[in-house]
Chains A and B, each alone.
Chain A
Amino acid sequence: MSEIVATDALPKPKRDIAPLLLPLVLALLMIPLVGSPSSWVTLTVASLAMGMMIFIMASGLTLVFGLMDVLNFGHGAFIAVGAYVATLVLLPLASWAQADSLLINLAVLVPAALLSMGVTGALGLVVERVLVLPVYGQHLKQILMTTGGLIVAEQTLYALFGPQIIPMPLPAALRGSFILGDVAISKYRLLALLIGLVIFVAIELVLNRTKIGLLIRAGVENREMVEALGYRIRRLFLGVFMTGSALAGLGGVMWGLYREQVHASIGDELTVLVFIVVIIGGLGSITGCFIGAILVAMVANYGGFLVPKLALVSNILLMVAVLMWRPRGLYAVTSR
């Protein structure tokens, strides 16, 4: 097709940048409150890294929520399974993980992450076919089925791996920090930040530059019409569900390494957090999810530093504040 020149396009809708500025404004507001510049930098980098890990876990959920209208309360199961599967590679090959060479560390870390994504993606296929497919369009049953799935997954992990906390030490090359003057920036946090940004850009490129992305965006808005154009949206649903599950698995690996431990209720704990991020961001919005994840992490880190007791309720307060400002989330994509 030759390039069409739109000579007299409609005025472009005003770009809504207020939510994009929120993390920046929040970070700047914290400078005088935190006091020490080095503490502020450390907290900000920690927030961004934590935000990226939460984003990776939540991005799949927001697409599943927005495109498929599925309330997947079992999303946390993929996070936990992902983290446990990584231990199956990292613990037997602990000597590689603890070697001083970054290449040898990566030689065990990358396969562990890929295996986790593969297993959780495949688990996503089974969950979508067995638990979700029979209850499309029935929210109450979706909640019951997926919550049940989460409980079964958690108890299976207890049965297979035992109730004890499993240590998941960081590979040697990712330990420690880069020191810049008074500021210490953790190597692992920088890596998490980089991976999160790469995944965000990749998802945005797929959604905005490919036909699959067009179909997903169109499907979020009107599934029926996408089918009437001749596309099998169920297959697209399955693909998105599997991708979301695989991303949750990757998020689980990264969170496990961040905390340097894994336990069966890790998914249960993080489910609430990822739901808060998805709701704050706006159902189905990847950009909203990205901003929401950073905001949640910032409030947790700055709040925990300034008023430790506030950390217990900071996420809920943030969600209330955002929903009072924008009742459908930062970037509403669907009308649900």
Chain B
Amino acid sequence: MSALLKLTGVETYIGRYHILQGVDFEVPEGQTTMLLGRNGAGKTTTLRTIMGLWEAKSGSISLAGEPIEKLSTPDIAQRGVGYVPESMAVFSDLTVKENLVLAARNGPLDDAQLAWIFGFFPALKKFWLSRAGSLSGGQKQMLSIARAIVEPRKLLLIDEPTKGLAPAIVMSLIECLKEIKRRGATILLVEQNFHAARELGDQVLVMDNGTIVHRGEMAALAADVPLQERLLGLSLEAHQ
């Protein structure tokens, strides 16, 4: 499987803090790669650096072979990268419909794509004309993900989508992400929820102190409790 996304020696500073200290990894096309690590390991910074929201001071980032580390955020998005931030960042003053209209950059909303999204996020249809700010946390997360998939994307960067959500909502989000995966999407997913990580991940990367300290298959890490404890400080079961 060829690499859709490749990071080589990426270093990022936030102010005077040296956050990413030489990050190297590949995200294979058509697979879901989990990015795990303790709080402060640099997972969110990695996604933001790929997206161009923070500048990579050195190293290279390529998408389908094309260097993107010098591109602006809109240019990176226009090359087919969808981003779901940890904060969800829905536009609360806009309706659900208006949020999705903005996300459909290439033209009007596609009926078939909308029907597919409504299939696993029925709340978005129900609250179609309601202000996004009045939605619950789970519904905002659904909208945030829907915004990223309302048009076909080459790569999805998703940051802790299950954080702070009720178990029932988490289950439906996992089903949604599985469905997105079945459609052949390539996903780089930051996640702390073990159940979600095990269900969704093909590959896994573990970060610590701004570098990748482990890479391999998700199934292998899920089966190796001592390795989990060594890499993450505690077993993945305890992360739930």
Contact = CB atoms under 8 A, between A and B. Distances in A.
Interface of A: 1-2, 4-10, 12-13, 211, 214-215, 217-218, 220-222, 224-233, 333
Q: Which 5 A-B pairs have the closest CB atoms?
A: A230-B77, A6-B128, A10-B130, A225-B89, A227-B73
Given A4-B97, A6-B129, A10-B134, A227 B102 contact: no
Contacts of B51: 228
B228 to A, nearest CB: 32
A230 B148 CA distance: 11
B215 to A, nearest CB: 26
Given A218-B93, A229-B105, 14 more contacts: A4-B125, A6-B128, A8-B126, A214-B101, A214-B102, A221-B93, A224-B89, A225-B89, A228-B51, A228-B53, A228-B85, A230-B74, A231-B105, A232-B72
B101 A2 contact: no
A316 B83 CA distance: 45
Q: Looking at chain A's contact residues, is the secondary structure mostly helix, strand, loop, or mixed?
A: loop
Nearest to B92: A221
B134 A13 contact: yes
B94 A214 contact: yes
Among B51, B77, B101, B109, chain A packs the most CB atoms within 10 A around the CB of B77
B135 interface: yes
B77 A2 contact: no
Contacts of A2: 111
B77 A4 contact: no
Nearest to A235: B74
Contacts of B156: none
Contacts of B78: 230
A224 B53 contact: yes
A228 B85 CA distance: 10
Given A10-B135, A214-B101, A218-B94, A229 B130 contact: no
28 contacts: A1-B108, A1-B111, A1-B114, A4-B97, A4-B114, A4-B125, A5-B128, A6-B129, A8-B126, A9-B130, A10-B127, A13-B134, A214-B94, A218-B91, A221-B91, A221-B92, A221-B93, A224-B73, A225-B91, A227-B73, A228-B53, A228-B77, A228-B83, A228-B89, A229-B77, A230-B77, A231-B74, A232-B74
B93 A333 contact: yes
Nearest to B151: A230
A211 B134 CA distance: 22
A226 B85 CA distance: 12
A222 B97 CA distance: 17
A66 to B, nearest CB: 11
Contacts, number: 88
A333 B133 CA distance: 13
Contacts of A10: 127, 130-131, 134-135
B111 A9 contact: no
Contacts of A232: 72, 74
Interface in B83-100: 83, 85, 89, 91-94, 97-98
Contacts of A218: 91, 93-94, 102
A187 to B, nearest CB: 39
Contacts of A228: 51, 53, 73, 77, 83, 85, 89
Interface string B45-57: 0000001010000
Interface string B110-150: 11001000000000011111110011000000000001000
Interface string B63-79: 00000000011100110
A9 B135 CA distance: 10
Interface string B19-48: 000000000000000000000000000000
Given A228-B51, A229-B105, A6 B89 contact: no
Given A10-B135, A214-B94, A1 B109 contact: yes
A229 B129 contact: no
Nearest to B97: A4
B110 A1 contact: yes
A175 B157 CA distance: 64
Contact of B128 (A9, A222, A231): A9
A139 to B, nearest CB: 18
A138 to B, nearest CB: 14
B103 interface: yes
Contacts of A6: 125-130
Given A1-B110, A2-B111, A221-B91, A214 B98 contact: yes
B173 to A, nearest CB: 19
A8 B130 CA distance: 10
B102 A215 contact: yes
Nearest to A230: B77
